[in-house]
Amino acid sequence: MRLNRLSWPCACAPARIVHVGIGSFSRAHTCWYTMAADGEGEWGICAFTGRRPDAAEALGPQQGLYTLIERGTATDSLSVIEVVSEVRPGSDLDGFTEAVAAPQTAIVTLTVTEAGYRPTAVAERAATGAESPLPNPPQRLAAALVERHRRHAGPLAIVSCDNLHANGSVLRERVLTEAEPLDAEAAGWIGREVSFVSTSVDRITPRITEADRELVLRELGLVDLAPVVTEPFSDWILSGEFPAGRPAWESAGARFVADIDPFELRKLWILNGAHSLLAFLGLARGHLTVADAIRDPELVQAMEQFWDLAERHLPSASELDLETYRRETHARFANGRMGYPLMQIAGDGRDKLRQRVVPVIEAALDAGESAEPALRVVRAWARWLLEDPARAATDQNAELLRGVLDAGGGEDRMRGLLGLLAPRLAEDTDQ
C-alpha cells in the first residue's frame, strides 16, 4: 500500500544551509551530522541536486524527509532524517542564486564528486533535458556569491565535503577564477570575507535496493522513494572559520583541527585508495562487492602492500593512529551486509585515481623507491577499460577516454590512459 505524504512528519527548520549535490552520501553524512547537532531545529538545509533531478523528484513529495538505514554486521537501525527543508533540481539556477544570496544563509556545503572541481566547464545537460549546458558547481557558486555581495548579505562559509585533497583551497581557487570576470570588486570581497573550509568526510554509502525500500515500509509503515543505506561508522574533520555561525557539529562527533592535511590524505590513500584497488583488481577476479573482494587473500595482500607504501609517505602526525585506522577500515570492508558494489566504486575512475592513488605513486618515485603496489592499481584500471571500451561511459571524462581508446594499438592505448592520470606515468608502462 502506498501511503500519502501526510504519513511523513513535518520538517520545519528554517533553511540556513544551502547544499549542492543532494545524493545518498550527503544525506548519510552531512545531513545526519546536522540533524544530530541541531536540537533546537535552527539549521534547515535547502538542497539542490547535481546533474540529475532524481533526488528532487523523490524527496519533494516526502517534504524533504527520508529514512536512514544504518547497516551493521548483524542488524539495521532505521531513523527518519528531518533536516532537509526543501529540495530543488540543480537546473534551478535562479533559485540557487536566491538561496545563497539570502541573508539568513550562513553555510554552503557541497558534495559534487571529484569531477565537479575540474577547472574547465563541463557541458552538462540541464535536468529538463534542454540543450543548453548547466554551469559547473564553481561557476554556479561564483555567480551566486557575486549576487550576495551586491545585496550586502554578509560573509558566510563554503564547506567542501568531497574526496579531494585540500578541497577547500581548490574550491576557493576555482570560485575566484570564475568570479573575477563577473565582478572584480565582488571577487575581492569573496577572497576577503568568504571562508572556504576544508574537510575530510568518511562514511561508506552504497546504492539502495528495492529490498531497502521494502524494509522501510515493513518497519516504519512509510513508502520512501529515497532511503539511504550506510554503515554505523562515520567521521568528519573540518578546518576553517564560520563567520556567520554553524551547527554544533562537534556534539555529533565532528572534529575541528588546525591542520587537516594529514587527515585528508589518510582517508584518501588508506580508505579510498584501497576501495579503488579492490574495485579494479577485484572486478578482474570476478568479485562483485567490497565484502567479496576482501575475502580474497591475494587482494588483501595487495591492499596491505599498498597501505604500507602509502603510510611511508603520509605526513607524520601522532593523532592519525594509522594502525587502528587500517584495522578499522579492513573491518568496515568486511561488513558483508553492506553489499557495496565494486562497479559503483569503478565509476569516474580517472578523477578518483588522480586523487587517491597517483599521489602515492609520485611520492614513491620522488623518493627513489618502487611504486609497484600503487602502479598495479592504475594498470588494472587501464586494462579494465581496454578490455571493454564501452566502460568509458561510466566516467565523466568519457570523451577524453574514448579519444585514447579509439587510437593506436594496445601498448599505445595503455600509455595514453596512464598519461591521462599523470604525464610521467606514460613514460614507461613497465616501471
DSSP helix/strand/coil, 78: strand
Domains 5-258 and 262-426 fall in the same CATH topology: no
Question: In sequence order, what are the beta bridge partners of 158?
Answer: 108, 196
Q: Spell out the domain ranges in the chain.
A: 5-258, 262-426
The strand pairing partners of 133, in sequence order, are 125
Amino acid residing at 279: A
Q: Tell me which CATH code domain 262-426 carries.
A: 1.10.1040.10
Does residue 5 carry a pLDDT above 60? Answer: no
Among the four given CATH numbers 3.20.20.60, 3.30.70.1450, 3.40.630.10, 3.40.50.720, the one describing domain 5-258: 3.40.50.720
Residue 269 corresponds to which amino acid? W
Q: What is the model's pLDDT at position 127? A: 37
- Torsions phi, psi for 211 (to 5 deg): -60, -30
This prediction has a pTM of 0.89
Point out the least confidently predicted range of 103-107, 358-362, 425-429: 425-429
Tell me if 256 sits within 8 A of 239, measured CB to CB. yes
Please write the tens of the pLDDT for every residue from 254-299.
999 999 999 999 999 999 999 999 999 999 999 999 999 999 999 9
Q: Which of 48-62, 165-179, 378-392 has the lowest mean pLDDT?
A: 48-62
Among candidate residues 209, 181, 188, the one with its CA nearest the CA of residue 338? 209
Averaged pLDDT, 294-309: 98
The confidence band for 134, taking pLDDT boundaries of 50, 70 and 90, is confident
Q: β-strands 235-239, 195-202: how paired? A: antiparallel
Whether the predicted pLDDT of 123 surpasses 90: no
Question: Per-residue pLDDT tens for 184-236?
Answer: 999 999 999 999 999 999 999 999 999 999 999 999 999 999 999 999 999 99
Mean pLDDT of 33-62: 92
Q: Is pLDDT of 9 > 80?
A: no
Task: Please state, rounded to an integer, the average pLDDT across all residues of the chain.
Answer: 91
CA atoms within 13 A of residue 102's CA, in its CB half-sphere:
18
For the chain, the distance separating the N- and C-terminal CA atoms, rounded to the nearest angstrom, is: 60
% of the chain exceeding 90 in pLDDT: 83
pLDDT per residue as tens digits for the range 64-95:
999 999 999 999 999 999 999 999 999 999 99
